[in-house]
Homo-oligomer: A and B are copies of this chain.
């Protein structure tokens, strides 16, 4: 339980999935309906193996937290494993383990999700437990205090002990000048320390309600069966207060290039990343998000990409190099490149080569051929994604929770097919502007030149 999904390199595994939307045929089996209390239900049947993935997605993440209360969304993810009026703390977890299932949960900037992968017979039990904790948590000062210490310890070990994580926090805080994506999902230490029962209850009452949740069930079940079970469980939870559409402070126009440098004795090989603010799938003009996805793939998506081929295979100057686009976000998001040299020297060379590769795309565009190869890799990833129920549940849940519709998911492959080389060049030119970037440097400690 309690995984953070961040808009950072660590989140790329999910991002790769999230861009791999299913082909139209796959949708034949997918159905969606609403419970009377406003809860959306999506069923993705797949009978190849006797297993189901059961996920509940709450449309609330760290970017929805009140000012000064950073970390409350992730804190709440922890609290969901505590006692309810009907079950002692840990019972749900033990149940999942007993039946040989897998349980997990994660918090992102835009959503918080709870997942169990179990055999189909256990689905009614999962739904009973999950719908119970949507409303019946017992939030005492004692529970809150104990869990706060756990989270402070988690922050200490995951962030404060990791120079790369510390740098990532300050890069985000620099990249986003106004939007709450600036704030770390786990929360700033001094604010986590102050989180209390009042904050937790307010958050629970506002956001943990069927009309702010999406149920996704993928695997060996049917829409009829899920509908029947959902009405008996989630359907009995009262609708919560109406929640207005998310309105977070948006980014101003950016006019500067910025750098963020962390020098630390624990770093052995230097590395850098460079980011720009770009539209997400929800905020983009038609075709731009798809073009950014393909740009990221052509430039730095794996071993066939330009950066990998040039810097690692041909020149041998880099030990890593790549690109990423975090398109599955509710608001404007980041496009980035990153690299590290072979050994302790040569970071400037790697950065320069990556900048040059971007400049080349801006100047000369991409070839029809390499665009076609990138599309083929996306096509394959779609086929691959369909092979995995949990991946499909993740894809539908994360897309719907960040403002996409089922139709958006369905039509994604066609929209990708329609992208032209000119569109890829256009988004590179429009968004990857050197004077509007944020570059983070992680450096080994040298003699201080002050």
Q: List 25 A-B contacts (CB under 8 A).
A: A67-B180, A68-B249, A70-B249, A167-B256, A169-B252, A170-B256, A170-B258, A173-B177, A173-B178, A174-B177, A178-B182, A178-B183, A189-B253, A191-B249, A191-B250, A256-B261, A257-B260, A258-B258, A258-B259, A259-B259, A261-B435, A262-B435, A355-B450, A434-B448, A434-B450
> In the complex, how many angstroms separate the beta carbon of A369 from the nearest chain B beta carbon?
26
Q: Does A414 contact B (CB under 8 A)?
A: no
Which chain B residues lie closer than 8 Å to A177 at the CB level? 170, 173-174, 182
A252 to B169, CA, bound (A): 10
With A174-B174, A182-B177: A262-B255 Cβ-Cβ less than 8 Å: yes
Is there an interface contact between B170 and A254, defined as CB atoms closer than 8 Å? yes
Is there an interface contact between B249 and A166, defined as CB atoms closer than 8 Å? no
Which chain B residues lie closer than 8 Å to A434 at the CB level? 448, 450
> In the complex, how many angstroms separate the beta carbon of A295 from the nearest chain B beta carbon?
17
Q: Does A359 contact B (CB under 8 A)?
A: yes
Whose C-beta in chain B lies nearest to the C-beta of A435? B263
Is there an interface contact between A450 and B255, defined as CB atoms closer than 8 Å? no
Q: Does A188 contact B (CB under 8 A)?
A: yes
Q: Does A190 contact B (CB under 8 A)?
A: yes
Q: Bits for A164-188, please: 1 = Cβ < 8 Å to B, else 0.
A: 0011011001100110101100001
Which chain B residues lie closer than 8 Å to A178 at the CB level? 70, 173, 182-183, 188
The winner among A166, A180, A248, A259 for most chain B CB atoms within 10 A is: A259
Q: Does A146 contact B (CB under 8 A)?
A: no
Q: Bits for A64-105, please: 1 = Cβ < 8 Å to B, else 0.
A: 000110100000000000000000000000000000000000
Is there an interface contact between B450 and A359, defined as CB atoms closer than 8 Å? yes
Q: Does A157 contact B (CB under 8 A)?
A: no
Is there an interface contact between B249 and A260, defined as CB atoms closer than 8 Å? no
Q: Does A28 contact B (CB under 8 A)?
A: no
The winner among A174, A253, A256 for most chain B CB atoms within 10 A is: A256
The winner among A173, A247, A257 for most chain B CB atoms within 10 A is: A173
A256 to B169, CA, bound (A): 10
Is there an interface contact between B359 and A252, defined as CB atoms closer than 8 Å? no
Which chain B residues lie closer than 8 Å to A180 at the CB level? 67
Which chain B residues lie closer than 8 Å to A67 at the CB level? 67, 180, 248-249
A70 to B256, CA, bound (A): 20
Which chain B residues lie closer than 8 Å to A249 at the CB level? 67-68, 70, 188, 191
**Which residues of A from 321 to 365 have beta carbons under 8 Å from B?**
355, 359
A222 to B191, CA, bound (A): 47
Is there an interface contact between A174 and B258, defined as CB atoms closer than 8 Å? yes
